[in-house]
Chains A and B, each alone.
Chain A
Amino acid sequence: MSTDYSVEAPVVAGRLTIAQIEELVAKPMDTKPDKKFYLALTISGSALLIGAVCLLYTFYYGIGMWGNNQPVGWGFGIVNFVFWVGIGHAGTLISAILFLLRQKWRTGIARFAEAMTIFAVMCAGIFPIIHTGRPWLAGYLTPYPNQHGLWVNFTSPLVWDVFAVSVYFTVSLVFWYTGLIPDFATLRDRTTSKIKKTIYSIFSLGWRHSSRHWLHYEKAYVILAGFATPLVLSVHTIVSFDFAVSIMPGWHTTIFPPYFVAGAIFSGFAMVVTVLVFVRKIFDLQNIITIDHLEKMNKVILATGMMVGYAYSMEFFIAWYSGVQFEQFAFLNRMLGPYAWAYWTMVSCNVIFPQFFWFKKIRRSIPAMIVIVLFVNVGMWFERFVIVVTSLHRDFLPSSWGMFTPTLYDFGILLGSFGLFFTLVILFTKALPVVSIAEVKAVADGAQPTHHRGEHHD
């Protein structure tokens, strides 16, 4: 297939009419779930249960059940937190930044990516709270007037984190729900079931598809996107401050904020591709989530993967250039020390494998991209493992050196977070429109008036 890059490919393939788009997207909600759905739900639900059991043990006996120790006080809890927050970033990038950049191809994937953001941030939010050891006291993290006369320390990155993640979750949820309202109205008007109609009526808030409303609605959407854009960049920046503001060798670097943000987008896009490849197949959405969209996402993965690779090498350069002995040791130790296997897993998964995306055939081949994005997911988890564990296990004093060995409970909770994520994703695919009906209708062929009479542009 030859491609003419001067002409934009149609966003919706297969010349679907507006009504056909609606039928296609609403189909999973109109039909009863099949056996495959229950099978998938059973698998993810089991993973979730394993995590829940491990968590209950942790709550009862304390986080001594985990591999955390002195000096590695931040183990899987923080690794998983940073990993899941990173996964969330792709959704906001697709829904907000690509919206501001007028990338029409985002419409097919935005809803799903936003949902993944919300679910990923839910998974992420669990970890710092359980990592405190007494999650039922998490309310102390908020500044409220209390009997102790105490306030939270607003100069601490950990408090910034509380604000950043909770604001990010709330804004993502509001953004997502705002986008869902017209779709709820559409579903309300097409359903024949009385119960569904009541539910959709409540959630649609009585939306009437009025043009006088659309005017403000579109404005609000631009405003939300305008705020979500710096917000998404701020969230992983602040997460990186948790590390960069400390004086630990390997953490105390100014490259962390951009490096973390690039890594977040990288891992997030990989997760979106991982899930979408299956969703478009299962729900027959190949014409709405087209191979072009996947190819564009693979290009983003290639670009951000190289940014991450650049950051890896720049960290080394600065360690050498700074002349700080501890910094130099920290990085040499990453490459050659006891956790070298984790480091090289990270480098090969994040830097080497995405290079295959230079080839168009691979970018457009579903099996090849599944393999590569899975590698990226693994690699990005290991990146956080390398940052957290290798920095902590060898700090300034050799007398306080140690090793970190995760326990079964660590792995159980990690598995449980994947279980939670995929359970939510699976329920979402059956309960809500996985593609924004209104937005995709608006970019379909012939959906918009021809402004200049007689002059067609598509």
Chain B
Amino acid sequence: MTDKKIFGVTALFNEPNAIISAARKVADAGFTKWDVNSPYPIHGIDKAMKMKPSKLGIVTLIFGLSGAVLALILMYWTMSVDYPMIIGGKPYFSLPAFIPVTFEVTVIMATLSTVVAMFAFFFGLPRNSHALHDTDYMKKVSRDHYGIVIEAIDPKFDEMATLQLLKDLKPITTEIIYHPEKENYPIFEPRFIALLVGVAVVVSIGTYLMLNKLVYIVPFDWMEKQAKVIPQSGSEFFADGRGMRLPVKGTVAKGFIPYPFEGETNPKEVLSNPYFPTKENLELGQRKYLTYCSPCHGNYGDGDSRLAGQFPNPPTLHSDRGRNFSDGMIYHIITVGQNVMPSYASQVTRDERWAIVNYIRALQRAKNATDADLKLVKAE
């Protein structure tokens, strides 16, 4: 037996008062690497063993508070920054409404961290390979006995002397515990590795099938396959293929006067421009021109957009015909369209249309500037 490595010596007692006084004596002898094992916590053993109170609460405090802070930050960021929405007339950061979730996150963080910290870091569990496992000593203290174990790594440990010390405490029995010769539960056992790999494979395949196959079979695809309007495709529901219904003929939108020359290609009369080409008006016109007109007519109205060369070629706005249009005629063309150019009435408001007209006028004048105009610009 001498080739075995000694773990420690143990003594068993069968009475709670005896273990308390025994623990007191061992603690007084100055040992540090020793322990008392009992099937349940014994009152007063902490004092007898001279143990310091548990510091577990610090973990709870730190993680509980960070849970509260994290929850509040998450709710603040999602509800006030990333996707702000007013709900029930409450402010974006509505603290009373955030309290329940903050509380729950605090509780879950605090409890889980406490339990994990205690078992994994304070105790070093799970550990089934400890030398005390599978000994008679452990079987007894697991049931109805109380034991003291003094470990060999204690600086004061001396096999004979320590054993004698324990025997002097008048235990029922003493025992010398040796380290097991081979590991009880080796991690790199092939069967265990095979189990882990098997679980990983099954979970991966299962996840793949769930996300890529299951959701596309009946009934899980019913939401996707339901009768609904799908953008860029015709509706099967209405005969005209449109997803939405057109308003009844003659419908007037609230707050709008209908355009009097609707549908006419060459109206005899047109509206007159109600806006002066002020700086603000021209800036608005430029913005809207660049957004809606330039894709075909080009940035300066030359008809040199990337559609140039197609049939029909987008016309230049600097032809004589274009220059001779009245303001109202250009407005009319934007409003009802001309040839392949569609109506822009639904995208561009009336005021914006007049601003575009003013901007086109500015472009036309700039492309055909007179000497007087050049003098004006140079003077500035």
Contact = CB atoms under 8 A, between A and B. Distances in A.
Interface of A: 17-19, 22, 59-62, 134, 136, 143, 149-151, 153-157, 159-160, 163-164, 167, 170-171, 174-175, 178, 182, 185-186, 188-190, 201-202, 205-220, 223-224, 227-228, 230-231, 234, 238, 241, 437-439, 441-442, 446-451
Given A155-B90, A450-B17, A160 B38 contact: no
B128 A201 contact: yes
Given A202-B128, A210-B35, 16 more contacts: A149-B82, A155-B90, A156-B87, A174-B115, A189-B138, A206-B130, A209-B38, A211-B35, A214-B45, A216-B56, A220-B118, A223-B110, A228-B111, A442-B41, A446-B16, A451-B43
Given A151-B82, A164-B104, A224-B111, A211 B144 contact: no
Interface of B: 16-17, 19-20, 23, 35-46, 49, 51, 53-54, 56-57, 60, 74-75, 78-79, 82-83, 85, 87-88, 90, 94, 97-98, 100-101, 103-105, 107-108, 110-112, 114-115, 118-119, 122-123, 125-130, 132-133, 138-139, 141-144, 185, 214-215, 219-220, 223
B37 A170 contact: no
Contacts of A442: 40-41
Nearest to B98: A154
A437 B46 CA distance: 22
B142 A190 contact: yes
B125 A167 contact: no
Among B87, B144, B219, the one with the most A-chain Cβ atoms within 10 Å of its Cβ is: B144
Contacts of A164: 100, 104
A134 B226 CA distance: 14
Given A163-B100, A216-B54, A189 B115 contact: no
Contacts of A190: 139, 142-143
A220 B115 contact: yes
14 contacts: A154-B79, A154-B97, A156-B87, A167-B107, A202-B128, A206-B128, A209-B138, A211-B42, A211-B45, A223-B114, A227-B107, A231-B107, A441-B144, A447-B16
B64 to A, nearest CB: 8
Nearest to A149: B83
A216 B58 CA distance: 12
A206 B142 CA distance: 12
B115 A448 contact: no
A134 to B, nearest CB: 7
Among A22, A205, A206, the one with the most B-chain Cβ atoms within 10 Å of its Cβ is: A206
Contacts of A201: 128, 133, 185
A167 B78 contact: no
Contact of B97 (A155, A438, A451): A155
Contacts of B23: 211
B106 to A, nearest CB: 9
A223 B56 contact: yes
A338 B359 CA distance: 72
A134 B42 CA distance: 52
A205 B53 CA distance: 24
B138 A167 contact: no
B57 A219 contact: yes
Nearest to B21: A449
B56 A219 contact: yes
B38 A214 contact: yes
A109 B108 CA distance: 25
B117 to A, nearest CB: 9
Contacts of B39: 18, 182, 186, 209, 437-438, 441
B79 A151 contact: yes
A215 B48 CA distance: 12
A167 B215 CA distance: 28
B51 A215 contact: yes
Among A156, A214, A238, the one with the most B-chain Cβ atoms within 10 Å of its Cβ is: A214
A19 B139 CA distance: 12
Contacts of B219: 59-62
B100 A241 contact: yes
Given A214-B38, A217-B41, A219-B56, A209 B141 contact: yes
Contacts of A211: 23, 35-38, 41-42, 45-46, 49, 51
Given A211-B49, A448-B42, A224 B108 contact: no
A26 to B, nearest CB: 10
Contacts of B54: 215-216, 218-220
A18 B142 CA distance: 11
Q: Which 10 interchain pairs have the tightest Cβ spacing?
A: A189-B142, A442-B40, A219-B54, A205-B126, A151-B78, A155-B97, A211-B36, A160-B100, A18-B144, A214-B41
A446 B42 CA distance: 11
Contact of B125 (A150, A205, A231, A234): A205
Contacts of B110: 223, 227
Nearest to B116: A174
B111 A171 contact: yes
Nearest to A208: B132
Contacts of B108: 167, 170-171
Contacts of A231: 104, 107
Contacts of B100: 157, 160, 163-164, 234, 238, 241
B26 to A, nearest CB: 12
B43 to A, nearest CB: 5
Contacts of A156: 87
A154 B78 contact: yes
B50 to A, nearest CB: 11
Contacts of A59: 219
Among A18, A157, A202, A216, the one with the most B-chain Cβ atoms within 10 Å of its Cβ is: A216
A216 B120 CA distance: 12
A437 B142 CA distance: 10
A453 to B, nearest CB: 9
Contacts of B46: 211, 215
A182 B123 CA distance: 13
Contacts of B111: 171, 174-175, 223-224, 227-228
A185 B139 CA distance: 9
A261 B112 CA distance: 25
A210 B219 CA distance: 55
Among A19, A61, A167, the one with the most B-chain Cβ atoms within 10 Å of its Cβ is: A167
Nearest to B103: A234
A136 B119 contact: no
Nearest to A133: B223
A247 to B, nearest CB: 11
A254 to B, nearest CB: 14
